[in-house]
Chains A and B, each alone.
Chain A
């Protein structure tokens, strides 16, 4: 399996422009997560989907951010309009449930990330 695929790997844009980040999860995984990582704030969960349905978007910073998952093999994170403070590495991760004696846990597999710079 190719793992989680993200594109683009690097994006440089100017303030006010629309940015779209793309993610293809691992085939068969039913959960998908979007994270943002900065030095100041660490790794923050923005939104996650289960079976293509958004479950928790409480981490989305504001209305400028939106995410969609039209099918099990594709998701987008859109920022419109972008601002310099949005500069960060954005990771997509996917997971599937693993049953253990203590219950179910999900191992998240991360994509390589998209490094976004907003000038």
Chain B
């Protein structure tokens, strides 16, 4: 079992819709979680981090964390074509290493 898992996609949503990206992790001791966005041919960039159960909102982005279920999600409201990218979920494990998931490819259709 991989330590951080994501659906590889591609996930396609129409412009203006909500995109929902999901991630699960295996290390129950993980404390901090990150969402990175990676455009094709570019490097990952941090867009959200979360460490408490519940929701964290930043503009059109909402990160959700449920430690009991070992589940992290990212919601993108009012999706735009410029949101089309691969989204990487990462977890900082109990042994202090950040592990990345394989990424979910998102395509927002105009």
Contact = CB atoms under 8 A, between A and B. Distances in A.
Interface of A: 42-45, 56, 91, 100, 102-103, 105-113
A105 B100 contact: no
B44 A43 contact: yes
B97 A107 contact: no
A101 B37 CA distance: 25
Contacts of B102: 42
B52 A113 contact: no
Interface residues of B, number: 19
B31 A45 contact: no
Contact of B92 (A42, A105, A109, A113): A105
Contacts of A105: 32, 49, 51, 92
A42 B31 contact: no
